[in-house]
Amino acid sequence: MMSEATYDQDGQSAVGLEAGLRSASDRLMSTLEELIQLEQRKRDMQPGSTEFVQLADRIETLASVALGHTREQATLAEASKALAGTPLEMERPIEAIPPRPLDVVLGEWRAAERRLSEAASGSTDHDVAQADAHRLRDEYRRAQETARSAALEAPDR
Q: How many domains does the chain have?
A: 2
In-domain check, residue 34: yes
Among residues 70, 97, 124, which one ends one of the domains?
97
Q: List the beta bridge partners of residue 68.
A: none
Q: Note if the pTM is more than 0.85.
A: no
Q: Are residues 121 and 156 in the same domain?
A: yes
Q: Which domain holds residue 29?
A: 10-97
pLDDT at 14: 64
pLDDT at 67: 95
Q: Are residues 83 and 120 in the same domain?
A: no
Q: Are residues 15 and 84 in the same domain?
A: yes
Q: Are residues 65 and 104 in the same domain?
A: no
Helix/strand/coil percent split, the chain, to 5: 75, 0, 25
Helix (H/G/I), strand (E/B), else coil: 13: strand
pLDDT at 13: 57
Q: Are residues 102 and 139 in the same domain?
A: yes
pLDDT at 60: 93
Among residues 79, 97, 115, which one ends one of the domains?
97
Q: Are residues 134 and 65 in the same domain?
A: no
pLDDT along the chain (157 residues), means of 10: 40 71 88 92 94 92 92 93 86 86 92 95 85 85 82 71
In-domain check, residue 4: no
Helix (H/G/I), strand (E/B), else coil: 74: helix
* 105 alpha-carbon distance from chain centroid: 10
Query: What SS3 string covers 27-65?
Result: HHHHHHHHHHHHHHHHHCCCCCCHHHHHHHHHHHHHHHH
* 10 alpha-carbon distance from chain centroid: 25
Q: Are residues 121 and 138 in the same domain?
A: yes
pLDDT at 34: 87
Q: Are residues 103 and 157 in the same domain?
A: yes
